[in-house]
Amino acid sequence: MPDPGRAALVHPDKGGAAARRPRLLLLLLTEDTILMRSLLSRRFRATRAVTAATAVLALASVTGQVAHADTPAVPEFDDGFGLSQVTEDREVHSSTDFSITVTTPEVAGQHKIRIFLPSDYASEPGKRWPVTYFLHGGPGNPDEAGTVEALRSDQMITVAPDGGRKGWYADWLMQDTAEGAANWETFHLEQVVPLIDANLRTIPDRGQRAVVGLSMGGFGSMHYAQTRPDLFGHVASMSGGIDFGNYAVRGAVVATELNLTTAWCAVSSSRGCADYGPVVDSDAIFGSPYPVFNADHIWRSVNPAASANLAKLADTGITLYTGDNDLVENHTADGVDIVTSRLDKLGIPSRAVNYGDGSSLSPTCNGGHNYGCWAPAFADYIPRLEAAFAAEETK
């Protein structure tokens, strides 16, 4: 999968320009800096805003112009739900595209959450918005959301949390591997979702919340929708590993645990065999993959294609996309066929799109396991999701 470069941090001007301004300007900027550093509590934000506005007006009277910050304004986030921000690692690409970085005891290390806001989020302070969670594939990262233009929607907030190079959107069976703590499911469902609802103007209702993902994230989206139907009213999987009854899919998961350069790896990444991180035990995530003496019971319990799990999606909008033109997509297509067949037997509606060699989807798509197909698939899906959100809002 493509690995978009990490965007550089955007810093305000710290050079000598301020020193050349009138003394009043320097004093006001100094006062504002002190205020911003000291008034950290939410209850003081209104006072800080008034002070800043007063300073700007005073500057305008002296200089004849209004000062502009180099860094676009984005919403402030309070810590909570077991998450602590690494404030120096915040990235601001624009007023509607930024990232926060958090730490949590549930998952070792630091983890980025990239967020896209509607263009009128700031100008409509009384409006609340639906939220879509985008789950990247392995060994990807949240910045991959930036390659999917359709996710920058004016009808919803998009949140792309880190899922690890091989996190598989699960609470791992083994927590003492070289990866350290790896409770990815808990991190996302019990920490990230409530953090977003607490800090952004969301509509905290399942009908206004979707989870979508591709490849590894396609498994994650289906698994999360089944695990927490109270949270998600819409789910989409793009080329997802959604049938753990398929032993090639199980083999792909094990290959990521062992960081093996397999044929699956070679065709699942446009970079060739990417780095899935330190080698861990082959049973680290879901236990033994072998169906002997019930050893694979975790694999079966989380299998998105299991009828018992599919039944949990009775009131969920379900969309599945796949090609069938390379080794990986052959298996994801099989998974879509199995899932839709079982959904039909359960009387649960779904929408499945097999775009084959990609010619019916987009000139950029060759039917393979890549963003040349996923980006246009999202372009097809997102307007439908926006319409579903709008329909829910009118109920």
Contact 82, 66 (CB under 8 A): no
Task: Name the token pair of 297.
Answer: 């019971």
Q: How far is CA 386 from CA 85, 91, 156, 218, 361, in A?
A: 30, 27, 8, 20, 20
- What pLDDT does residue 261 have? 56
Q: Answer yes or no: pTM beyond 0.85.
A: no
Cα 128 from Cα 201, distance rounded (Å): 5
CA dihedral 61, 65, 71, 74 (to 10 degrees): 70
- What pLDDT does residue 394 have? 79
Q: What are phi and psi of 259, to 5 degrees?
A: 50, 50
Q: What is the mean pLDDT of each run of 10 residues along the chain (395 residues)?
A: 35 36 31 34 37 34 38 93 96 97 98 98 97 97 97 98 98 98 98 98 98 98 98 98 96 92 47 79 97 97 98 98 96 98 98 98 97 98 98 84
